[in-house]
Structure 1
Amino acid sequence: SRKVPLLKKAHIQAHLKFASEHLNDSEENWVKVLWSDETKIELFGISSTCRVWRRRNAAGDPKNTIPTVKHGGGNIMLWGCLSAEGTGKLHHIKGSMDGAMYCQILGENLLPSLKMGRGWVFQHDSDPKHMAKATKEWFKKKRIKDLDWPSQSPDLNPIENL
């Protein structure tokens, strides 16, 4: 079955507020958004259940199997961004990320990724490291405007489809 974010009443209200506030935004507003997110990529195999249709007694056929390795084979974490102008830089995240590391990643990758000129807006989700005091201060110091984003709304972010 399809996985969807768990939406509480507060999430639904925040989504409706966001939709109401942006209902009449022009396309020109949205082409000025730099979308961003982090992702984990499994280096070997997949981390979810996979179902296949197969003929009887064909379970061991290589086309019906997914090879595995002990302990999952590892993964990598990445931060990336994109806009209507194209993709931005991709950053390999080493270790676990907190607000300070997030600011460092943005410092090294955000501005070099911009291709939109003036008046752009940065989008990131409501992850705690994005909302950390250090992160908010970094945005204020750099005079970067970020889009007030409702939590539990990956369906609104085009980068989620990559």
Structure 2
Amino acid sequence: MRPISNDMQNRIVQLLKEGVSGEEISTKTGVSTGTISKIRKNHDLGDLKTNGGRPFVISTLLGRRILRNFNSGNYKNASDATRKLLEDGENISAETIGRFLKESGYAAIHKPKVLPLTKHRMKERYEFARAHLPWTIDDWKKVIFSDETKVNRIDSDGLQWTWTNGDKLKDFQVQHIIKHGGGSLILWGCLMWYGVGYLSNIKGNINSDFYVGILEDELMKTIDWYDLQKEDIIFQQDNASIHTAKKIPKWLENNNITVLRWPPHFPDLNPIENLWSILKQRLLQYEKQPDGMLELWSRVENVWESITQNECQKLIESMPKRIKAVYNAKGGHTKY
């Protein structure tokens, strides 16, 4: 038998006791079925199952305890739960806990990166959601959502997972944003019912004059491309200081563009955040990292242009649900 660590042997023994098949254990651990069979014999665990077996059953009382600890943030993930339960004399594998969580209606998700919410910010979010509860999809079709994002040349945004049952996310179920790294592009883009807009590659520090240039170029070209009337659209931008500089509201007013008043710290309501995620996930599908920033920009353009109208429409159609989620969370974090 190829030497394996004691921890791995103990994990395999526990899975065998729980009735997990040898093939499934092999898939999970990378240990051959032959080695697993020898471990089974050494521990006198009976015949090796190859097509599944009776799964370990978590009692109702223990199950409630596990869910309570996940809901409170005491258990960070299945492995953490296994370790802490073992300290209390309960020997249950992470796989079994994960299966139990799924059966209980939970799902593993990436921890969203969010800014901390104060009571004042939550109140602003709640009031915005309450004011826009009556809006229909037809209302949201008029909105052009805009935002900036950073795209790394070499990905460094570590994804963290958390378990959720679909309720509003708690503080321990999100990643708090601290700062960005380097070696990246800063992009400005927009999204609407009809598709994506023109994309801007922001080079250097952005100021109000530069942002006016984006509005005059990328935004106006987007409006013209989709043959829209400025009077018929509603423009969304967040409350970044560059967006609220004196020149910006004046330019928008002079161009007869209505602005959607947007509360601070509201990225989970902006569907373009989901579009940025789509962009970055598709960039990760390239087999090799880009050799330089020019190649990265070329890839960004290609992926951006491949985003379909249908994908954009699904995001716009989610707006009433997003509004309701923020309202139900009383301004707190949501799954979006």
The alignment's TM-score, normalised by the length of structure 1, stands at 0.80
Q: CA RMSD in A?
A: 1.8
TM-superposed deviation, 1:50? 5.4
Which residue of structure 1 aligns with residue 297 of structure 2? none
Q: What displacement does 1:122 show?
A: 0.4
Question: Which piece of structure 1 moves more, 114-123 or 104-113?
Answer: 114-123
Report how many aligned residue pairs link the two structures.
Answer: 141
Task: Note the C-alpha offset of 1:73.
Answer: 7.1
Instruction: Tell me which residue corresponds to 1:133.
Output: 246
8 Å contact kept, 1:42–1:75: yes
Cα deviation for residue 156 of structure 1 reads: 0.3
For 2:119 and 2:149, how far apart are their aligned partners in 1? 27
Shift of 1:117: 2.7
CA deviation vs aligned residue, 1:47-75 (integer Å, no higher than 9, x gap): x3357xxxxxxxxxxxxxxxxxxxx7711
Residue equivalent to 1:12: 122
SS in 1 for 2:151: strand
Q: Report Cα offsets for 1:122-149 as digits up to 9, x if no partner.
A: 0111100011111111111111111000
In the alignment, is residue 112 of structure 1 matched against residue 225 of structure 2? no
Q: Which has the larger radius of gyration?
A: 2
Q: Which of 131, 139, 156 is the aligned partner of 2:269?
A: 156
Following superposition, which runs of at least 4 residues in structure 1 exceed 4 angstroms of deviation? none
Alpha-carbon contact 1:36-1:80 (below 8 Å) kept: yes
Equivalent of 2:195 in 76, 86, 103: 86
1:11-49 deviations in whole A, cap 9, x for unaligned? 111111111111101211101100111111111232x33
* TM-score between both structures, scaled by the size of structure 2: 0.40
CA change 1:142–1:155 in 2 (3 A) is same
- Which residue matches 1:101? 210
- Aligned residue identity for 2:246: K
Q: Indicate the percent of aligned positions where both proteins have the same amino acid.
A: 38
8 Å CA contact 1:85–1:116 kept in 2: the answer is no
* Unpaired segments ≥5 residues, structure 1: 52-71
Hey, what does 1:58 align to over in structure 2? none
- List runs of 5+ in structure 2 lacking aligned partners: 1-109, 161-180, 276-336
Counterpart-to-counterpart distance in 2, 1:98 and 1:80: 17
Is the strand fraction higher in 1 or 2? 1
